[in-house]
């Protein structure tokens, strides 16, 4: 999960407790029984507020800087940072993604356009070569998985540093648990993308349209899940300004899936033609 440092303002009360306010979340307050409990109480309060904002699809404010908060302190108040690791609500993220997709009429139009283009291509595919586009799509997906960066990190003085599924985080992972977790996710995801691409190639070679369709759907679903997790795991706040997601990688995956769809439509059309031909032969035999 991404880690964000939020500032809290504390003030000792007469009964020995501490009143906690949160400059990033107007109106939010909490009370800690002792100084030792301040961090845990503040963390839980912030997490609860973040969950509420996400559930209501409200904007999560960017964490304020210490300079902004320090200039507004009253007598007896003091500040500290509270690092908060955001909990990943996978169900909510998926629901939000699917709702967004359903609300876009352009998605429906784009799907129809893709289907029409695929049908146009299938009309020009020579008989017996229906599987060629699926094989090409799988190969593109494998090359894309190995060679194209998932994201890049801009390091001052040193320039951009590319991070892929199998490269880029080895040295940094030794110094940070968060980076090590991201590295594990990238490695596991890279292996799955290769497996799904291999399934595209295999199902195209054996010309099994059902396996091909399931592998395409699996590829698309996993692509969405991966990038949802990636956006959640990458650092937020000021650090996010130095990180760039490679949209070319997403584009190459979408191209490979589109090519696989062409093979699916071609195989489906070939099967329908064969069924029609067999039905015609059966009717001729009955006539005889």
* Distance (Å, whole) CA 60 – CA 49: 9
> For domain 3-85, is the CATH number 3.30.160.250?
yes
Mean pLDDT, each 10-residue run in order, the chain (288 residues): 81 92 93 91 91 84 88 90 69 54 54 64 72 93 93 73 79 61 88 95 93 93 91 69 83 93 86 67 54
* Distance (Å, whole) CA 253 – CA 150: 12
pLDDT at 202: 96
Q: Nearest CA to 19 among 30, 8, 27?
A: 30
pLDDT at 1: 47
The boundaries of every CATH 3.30.160.250 domain in the chain are: 3-85
DSSP string, 15-51: TS-EEEE-TTSTT-EEEESSGGGHHHHHHHHHHHHHH
Taken as a whole, the chain contains a residue count of: 288
pLDDT at 98: 55
């Amino acid at each position: 999960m991404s880690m964000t440092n939020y500032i809290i303002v504390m003030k000792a009360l007469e009964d020995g407790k501490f009143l906690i306010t949160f400059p990033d979340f107007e109106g939010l307050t909490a009370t800690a029984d002792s100084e030792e409990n301040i961090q845990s109480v503040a963390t839980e309060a912030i997490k609860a507020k973040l969950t509420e904002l996400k559930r209501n699809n409200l904007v999560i404010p960017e964490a304020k800087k210490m300079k902004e908060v320090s200039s507004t302190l009253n007598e007896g108040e003091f500040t500290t940072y509270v690092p908060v690791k955001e909990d990943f609500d996978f169900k909510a993220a998926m629901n939000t993604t699917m709702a967004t997709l359903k609300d876009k009429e352009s998605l429906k139009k784009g799907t129809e356009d893709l289907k029409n283009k695929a049908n146009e291509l299938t009309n020009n595919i020579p008989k017996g070569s229906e599987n060629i586009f699926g094989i090409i799509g799988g190969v593109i997906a494998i090359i894309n998985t190995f060679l194209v960066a998932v994201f890049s990190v801009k390091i001052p003085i040193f320039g951009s540093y590319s991070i892929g599924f199998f490269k880029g985080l080895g040295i940094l992972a030794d110094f940070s648990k968060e980076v090590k977790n991201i590295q594990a996710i990238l490695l596991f995801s890279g292996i799955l993308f290769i497996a799904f691409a291999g399934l595209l190639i295999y199902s195209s070679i054996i010309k099994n349209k059902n396996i091909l369709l399931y592998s395409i759907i699996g590829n698309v679903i996993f692509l969405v899940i991966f990038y949802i997790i990636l956006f959640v795991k990458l650092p937020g706040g000021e650090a996010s300004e130095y990180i760039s997601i490679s949209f070319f990688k997403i584009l190459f995956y979408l191209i490979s899936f589109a090519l696989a769809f062409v093979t699916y439509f071609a195989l489906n059309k070939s099967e329908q033609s064969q069924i029609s031909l067999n039905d015609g032969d059966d009717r001729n035999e009955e006539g005889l």
